[in-house]
Amino acid sequence: MTGVLFDFSGTLFRIESADRWLRAVLAESGLTLPEHEVTSAAAALEAAGALPGGASPRRVPPELAALWEVRDRTAAEHRAAYTGLSRQVPLPDPALHDALYERHMTPGAWTPYPDTADVLRGLRDRGIGVGVVSNIGWDLRPVFRAHGLDPYVDAYVLSYEHGVQKPDPRLFEIACERLGADPVKVLMVGDNRQADGGAAALGCGVHFVDHLPAAERPDALRPVLDLVDRR
């Protein structure tokens, strides 16, 4: 094996909770709401699927359905899809919907899984190329830099930069090319069986992890090192 590709959200990093997300934006905006209104709005935002990287929408409004299917194709579509979901929830200031979207792109909104650094470091020590392949509408590189993980990533292949979403094999093909790796010698690691499973069409191996809060998933990435050592 010469390369390992990783998904971002739910695989290497976990987004903050909807409650923490909303409270951070309210604090930054200088707004104070009664506690019951904060908890109610956070729950409604979560149910709406408004937090990128968080829970999926319980229901996508018909007027957003077509956009939702292509949300990771461009930065504009990503923002429009998620702020559209957010706007299903009444907030005291309409500007909060854009502020929430901006917040989720900050490094402080993301936490690496407990074993992320050790696994990426272990792959670097083994001489294995590492790529991050993400369906996303913004540049996640600053998140890796802020958490000290950028030195372990050789290539970032982000859907909005190529106009292609997983599971389209073209996105994985670009990643393999950037690593200079034959796809049959590459392992794709992700949390979404449909999207990340698209790598199998190229002949890549695929390994799945569960999208759980960081505290509940301390070592799910460690088997990747065993898989690399066995192949």
Per-residue pLDDT of the chain (231 residues; tens, 9 = 90+): 999 999 999 999 999 999 999 999 999 999 999 999 999 999 999 999 999 999 999 999 999 999 999 999 999 999 999 999 999 999 999 999 999 999 999 999 999 999 999 999 999 999 999 999 999 999 999 999 999 999 999 999 999 999 999 999 999 999 999 999 999 999 999 999 999 999 999 999 999 999 999 999 999 999 999 999 987
Q: Are residues 214 and 116 in the same domain?
A: yes
Domain boundary among 108, 125, 158: 108
Domain boundary among 66, 92, 108: 108
| CA 115 and chain centroid, separation | 16
pTM above 0.75, yes or no: yes
Spell out the alpha helix ranges (H) of the chain. Answer: 18-29, 35-48, 65-69, 75-86, 95-104, 116-125, 141-146, 159-162, 169-179, 223-230
Q: Are residues 10 and 51 in the same domain?
A: no
Residue 120 belongs to domain with CATH number: 3.40.50.1000
Q: Which residue(s) pair with 110 in the sheet?
A: 15
Q: Are residues 98 and 123 in the same domain?
A: no
Q: Are residues 56 and 8 in the same domain?
A: no
Q: Are residues 70 and 101 in the same domain?
A: yes
Q: Are residues 88 and 146 in the same domain?
A: no
| Domain of residue 32, residue span | 15-108
Q: Are residues 155 and 42 in the same domain?
A: no
Domain boundary among 108, 133, 165: 108
Count of domains observed in the chain:
2
